């Protein structure tokens, strides 16, 4: 009996010589911000430093067919509140993926939304600003879902994803209403990407949200350019449909080995349905234009500093038009 207990303790506390392939990675980004102009006069000249996000990721290859990820996100409040807060931790990713065929896999757990994960990767400047559907709160960046994805050909030119999820972001599920989405994207050439995606989301027994989005991007040694249009339609019993259409375009131009110039323009075709209250304030109920200009300095492959300007303007709605806003930021990004 004593020998059995001793062997059990050794099994528990002696490190195993068999190690699964795994990796821990991390990155963070934040800003020095200065509110140069704001239609809310109380916020004018407000400035400071904040760490917007910290991500710590654990990736594990359980086998040649099974992979898992857990990602912790720490975020700061970006609502320009006068009350100081600490960074808030949240489980951003927690999924397992099963490669059941050479070109097809199933993923279960908290994972990327189909609405903009590909677009965000091509854009490459999430630390400067979110992609449009994320920024304007059309869709969450995550969902607890089951996703079937893969390619129709060995060259992986024609690719698909179909996702069924809770429509609750990375929060726990609290109702019976769900989301079904799909995405098709084509790598026409190594330089040219074309994508369409959409979903149907049941918000409640009397309310549904429909989304579609189109995007095209082209890249080369000189940089990259992308443009897209998306639209959300919210249908609710007893009410007129609410629509939100959005055009967005960006360009990234390489300036030697160390610098990149970035420009982006977002134009809403309809009044904002959701608005934005974090780091960049955007009122709902108005058509808006957003201009972003930045110059990225890659001090090191894992460390970047980027002075940038963000300008928001509004169009009149029912005789009311908020003043325009201008923010100056020095954004920093690093991996560790």
Report the DSSP beta bridge partners of residue 253.
Answer: 223, 261
Gap between the Cα atoms of 133 and 135, Å rounded: 6
pLDDT for 20: 58
Q: Which residues contact 68 (CB under 8 A, 6 or more apart)?
A: 59, 60, 62, 95, 96, 97
pLDDT for 8: 36
Mean pLDDT of 156-175: 93
Mean pLDDT of 67-88: 89
Q: How confident is the model at residue 21 (pLDDT cuts 50, 70, 90)?
A: low
Q: Which residue has the tokens 């134009």?
A: 267
Note the pLDDT tens digit of each residue in 270-282: 999 999 989 999 9
Please state which of the ranges 80-89, 139-148, 282-291 shows the lowest mean pLDDT. Answer: 80-89
Q: With beta carbons less than 8 A apart as the criterion, state whether 103 and 151 touch.
A: yes
Q: Which residue has the tokens 């024609």?
A: 158
pLDDT for 237: 97
Using the Cα atoms of residue 218, residue 220, residue 224 and residue 225 in order, give the sign of their dihedral: negative
Please state which of the ranges 6-20, 105-119, 144-158 shows the lowest mean pLDDT. Answer: 6-20
Domains of the chain by start residue, with CATH = 20-335 (2.40.160.10)
Please state which of the ranges 29-33, 38-42, 101-105, 261-265 shows the lowest mean pLDDT. Answer: 38-42
Q: With beta carbons less than 8 A apart as the criterion, state whether 73 and 55 touch.
A: yes
Q: How confident is the model at residue 291 (pLDDT cuts 50, 70, 90)?
A: very high
Note the pLDDT tens digit of each residue in 185-223: 999 999 999 999 999 999 999 999 999 999 999 999 999
Q: Which residues contact 81 (CB under 8 A, 6 or more apart)?
A: none
Structure tokens at 233: 């339609």
Q: Structure pTM?
A: 0.90
pLDDT of 6 higher than 70: no
Q: With beta carbons less than 8 A apart as the criterion, state whether 1 and 25 touch.
A: no
pLDDT of 153 higher than 70: yes
Over the chain, what HEC string results?
CHHHHHHHHHHHHCCCCCCCCEEEEEEEEEEEEEEEECCCHHHCCCEEEEEEEEEEEEEEECCCCEEEEEEEEEECCCCCCCCCCCCEEEEEEEEEEEEEECCEEEEEEEEECCCCHHHHHHHCCCCCCCCHHHHCCCCCCEEEEEEEEEECCCCCCEEEEEEEECCCCCCCCCCCCCEEEEEEEEECCCCEEEEEEEEEEEEECCEEEEEEEEEEEEEECCEEEEEEEEEEEEEECCCCCEEEEEEEEEEEEEECCCEEEEEEEEEECCCCCCCECCCCCECCCCCEEEEEEEEEEEEECCEEEEEEEEEEEECCECCECCCCEEEEEEEEEEEC
pLDDT of 5 higher than 60: no
Using the Cα atoms of residue 39, residue 43, residue 44 and residue 47 in order, give the sign of their dihedral: negative
pLDDT for 173: 85
pLDDT for 77: 86
């Amino acid at each position: 009996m004593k020998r059995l207990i001793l062997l059990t303790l050794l099994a528990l506390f002696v490190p195993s010589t068999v190690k699964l392939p795994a990796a821990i990675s991390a990155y963070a980004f934040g800003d020095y911000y200065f509110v140069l102009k704001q239609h809310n006069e109380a916020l004018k000249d407000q400035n400071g430093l904040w760490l917007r996000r910290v991500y710590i990721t654990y990736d594990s290859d359980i086998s040649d067919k099974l992979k898992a990820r857990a990602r912790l996100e720490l975020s700061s409040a970006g609502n320009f509140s006068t009350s100081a807060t600490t960074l808030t931790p949240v489980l951003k990713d927690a999924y397992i993926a099963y490669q059941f065929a050479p070109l097809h896999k199933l993923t279960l757990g908290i994972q990327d939304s189909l609405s903009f994960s590909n677009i965000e990767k091509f854009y490459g400047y999430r630390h400067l600003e979110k992609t449009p559907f994320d920024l304007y709160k059309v869709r969450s960046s995550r969902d607890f879902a089951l996703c079937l994805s893969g390619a129709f050909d060995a060259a992986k030119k024609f690719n698909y994803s179909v996702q069924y999820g809770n429509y609750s972001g990375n929060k726990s599920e609290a109702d019976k209403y769900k989301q079904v989405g799909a995405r098709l994207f084509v790598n026409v050439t190594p330089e040219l990407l074309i994508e369409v995606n959409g979903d149907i989301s049941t918000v409640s027994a009397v309310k549904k949200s429909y989304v579609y989005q189109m995007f095209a991007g082209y890249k080369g040694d000189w940089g990259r350019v992308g443009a897209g249009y998306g639209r959300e339609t919210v249908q609710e019993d007893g009410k007129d449909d609410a629509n939100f259409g959005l055009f967005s375009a960006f360009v990234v131009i390489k300036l030697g080995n160390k610098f990149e110039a970035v420009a982006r323009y977002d134009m809403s075709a309809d009044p904002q349905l959701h608005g934005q209250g974090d780091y960049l304030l955007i009122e709902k109920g108005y058509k808006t234009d957003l201009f972003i200009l930045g110059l990225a300095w890659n001090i090191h492959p894992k460390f970047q500093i980027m002075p940038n300007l963000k300008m928001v303007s509004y169009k009149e709605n029912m005789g009311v038009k908020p003043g325009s806003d201008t923010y100056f930021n020095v954004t920093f990004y690093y991996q560790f």
